[in-house]
Amino acid sequence: MKLQTQQPATSSYKPPYSPPSFQDLDFYDEVEAMVNTIQSVVDAQPDVLMSTCMAFMARCTEIWIQLLRVEATDRKAKSFRTMQLQKVMDLIEFEFRGASRLIEVARQELDLSK
């Protein structure tokens, strides 16, 4: 007597999820563009700088999460996250705090002039 094994249907088979490799993500240009934009917007109005910083920080957080998923299989992702992306996030936070203080000083000057 011969046992028959049932073959899984090939059309419904889905391989397990595997995150993309670090090379597929390619965040270098995007992060470099963020730095260049922050440096060019520094002389702008504080509210413009703050909104730009908030948008960039949100995107950096998304990149950070994607890199965390990939770094178990690729060391370059951890290096990029800790040595480059973290520095950019620190720069964005520094510029945001500076713009926030400028707005507070302007608000206090307005209160004093009344």
List C-alpha distances in Å: 2 to 5, 7.
Answer: 10, 15
Give the separation between CA 33 and CA 76, rounded to whole angstroms: 20
Please report, rounded to a whole number, the percentage of residues in the chain having pLDDT higher than 90: 54
CB atoms near residue 76 (< 10 Å) = 13
* CA dist., res. 96 & res. 70, Å (int): 29
For the whole model, what pTM was predicted? 0.75
Q: Is the pLDDT of residue 19 over 80?
A: no
| Alpha-carbon span 45 to 99, nearest angstrom | 8
pLDDT in tens, 1-10: 555 665 555 5
Q: Which pLDDT belongs to residue 13?
A: 59
Among 84, 89, 66, residue whose Cα is nearest residue 28: 84
Write down the domain spans for the chain.
22-112
Q: Output the pLDDT for position 5.
A: 60
pLDDT tens-place string over residues 55-87: 999 999 999 999 998 888 888 888 999 999 999
Helix, strand and coil percent figures for the chain, each rounded to 5? 70, 0, 30
Q: Strand, coil or helix: what is 44? A: coil
Pull the structure tokens for residue 19.
């995150």
- Nearest Cα to 17, choosing from 68, 63, 69, 92? 69
